Copies of this chain bind each other. A is one copy, B any other.
Amino acid sequence: MKQDAKSKLALNTYTKLMRGTESVTARVGRKMSDAGLTISQFGVLEALLHKGPMCQRDVASKILKSTGNITLVIDNLEKQGLVQRERSLEDRRYCTVLLTGKGRELIVATFAEVEAAIIAEMGVLTDEEQQTLGKLCKKLGLREG
């Protein structure tokens, strides 16, 4: 294949990857916003649900956002009574963040919705296609830079 055609293929593939992903993200994201949650808020609650209480730094690394960001997201979740901060007694630099009852209820229900939406989205691909897609995406993500 000529270099020029190779470039076109690469750009074309990139575009399809972006469009497809955005499209899926938008539809799955709607389940979150239907529940009154942003994607980040959902991510925080989901991490707390599945990994248990943790400090803000760990939350940040779990959802791949900056710590400055997490402060605000948790502020907003706290205002809504979905999570609670507890300053650690042993090391007062740490804030442990934990779900409230209300928060747990909401994230359990919303997670189920989101999970179903993801399964529906991926359902347009056969199992084999999904495996292939996963493999290719993993390859793309590898060279962490």
Contact = CB atoms under 8 A, between A and B. Distances in A.
Interface of A: 1, 6-7, 9-14, 16-25, 27-28, 64, 115, 118-119, 121-125, 127, 129-134, 136-145
Contact of A134 (B17, B118, B124): B17
B133 A19 contact: no
A3 to B, nearest CB: 9
Contact of A9 (B7, B17, B127): B127
B64 A9 contact: no
A21 B115 contact: no
A126 B27 CA distance: 30
B21 A134 contact: no
Given A23-B141, A127-B6, A140-B20, A122 B14 contact: yes
Contacts of A13: 122, 125, 130-131, 133-134, 137
